[in-house]
Structure 1
Amino acid sequence: MTPTLHTERLLLEPYVPEDEEDFVALFQDTRVSRWMGDGPSSEAEDRALFGRVFARVYAQDLFAVWAVRRDGRLVGHAEIKRTDTVDGHEIIYALAPTAWGSGLGSELARAVVAHGFGTLGLDEVHATVAAANEASLTLLDRMGFAYVRDIDEDDGSTTRVLTLRR
């Protein structure tokens, strides 16, 4: 079950069906989606992804997926899940551009890491980040994540694998 987490300025809680339009808007914003997964998707694919959060992830309690809110508004998305890419648990986070530049990314990432170390009892967490995503790489470096390796993607881009140990 995805627990509710609180930070100084953010509320991380399970999505509700009423979040669909805001979820799709976040994922359709190419300033955000270009750094997520395989990059931007169609609106239909993002709606299907939102549906799978309920039909699979929450229904089968697969991993934690959060709606990230500030002052009651959806401003981001976060996850922590086991992945074979890093042979461990990976943190995933995204914020709407309106939430950039105010330290909320660090606050969000720290909350997800704390959940991994505390609630899940992990000894390490990982992040996979596009090598061109300087903002996220800087944020993770400041948190103490260490470079592990690069992955050369099929599209010619590079993904960095970073790890933070407890």
Structure 2
Amino acid sequence: MTPVLRTERLLLDPYTPEDEEAFVALFQDTRVSRWMGDGPATEAEDRALFGRVFTKVYAEDLFDVWAVRRDGRLVGHAEIKRTDEVDGHEIIYALAPEAWGSGLGTEVAEAVVAYGFAGLGLPEVHATVAAANTASLALLTRIGFVHVRDVREDDGSTTRVLTRHREPAAV
């Protein structure tokens, strides 16, 4: 069951069926979707993805997926899930363009990483980011992620794999 996470300005909680239009709008914005998965999808594909959040991800407790809200409004998306690509847990986050540049991305990423360490007991958390997504690479570097390798994609682009290790507990 996906837990509720809170930051200074954000609430990360499970999606509700009423979030569908805002979810689709977020994922249909190519400024956002160009950096997610295989890139922009059709509206029908994004609606199907939203449906799978409920019928698969939540129903089968596959991994944690959050709606990111500020002042009650959906402003982003976040997840943490096990992937073979990094042989571990990867964080995924996206914010609507109107939320960019205000530090909210850092809040989301830090909250999901902290949950990975404290909530899931992970020794490390990974992120995969398109090499061209300099804003996300800078954010992750600022919060302690380190570049570990590059993956050459079929389309010739490069994806950076970054890792952050849990800090040892103070004694």
Length-normalised TM-score, structure 1: 1.00
Deviation per residue, 1:116-140 (Å, 9 max, x gap): 0000000000000000000000000
Q: Aligned residue for 2:31?
A: 31
Measure the CA separation in 1 of the matches of 2:22 and 2:102.
21
Measured in 1, the distance between the counterparts of 2:122 and 2:55 equals: 26
Which ranges of 4 or more aligned residues in structure 1 deviate by more than 6 Å? Answer: none
CA distance in 2: counterparts of 1:36 and 1:107, whole angstroms: 19
1:98 paired residue number:
98
Amino acid corresponding to residue 11 of structure 1 in structure 2: L
Gaps of 5+ in 1: none
The equivalent residue for 1:51 is 51
Instruction: Return the offset for 1:156.
Output: 1.2
Give me the whole-angstrom Cα distance separating, in 2, the residues matched to 1:136 and 1:52.
Answer: 26
Q: Gapped runs of 5+ residues in structure 2?
A: 167-171
Counterpart secondary structure, 2:60: coil
Where does residue 77 of structure 1 map in the other structure?
77
**2:169 paired residue number:** none
Residue matched to 1:127: 127
1:118 maps to which residue? 118
Q: What is the letter of the counterpart of residue 99 of structure 2?
A: A
For residues 97-129 of structure 1, the C-alpha deviation after alignment (integer angstroms, 9 at most, x for no partner) is 010010000010000000000000000000000
How far residue 10 of structure 1 moved from its aligned partner, in angstroms, is 0.2
CA distance in 1 between counterparts of 2:60 and 2:48 reads 17
Task: Compute the RMSD of aligned alpha carbons.
Answer: 0.3
* SS of 1:118 mapped into structure 2: helix
State the Cα distance separating 1:155 from its structure 2 match: 1.1
Give aligned-pair identity as a percent: 82
C-alpha distance after superposition, 1:41-93 (max 9, x if no partner): 00000000000000000000000000000000000000000000000000000
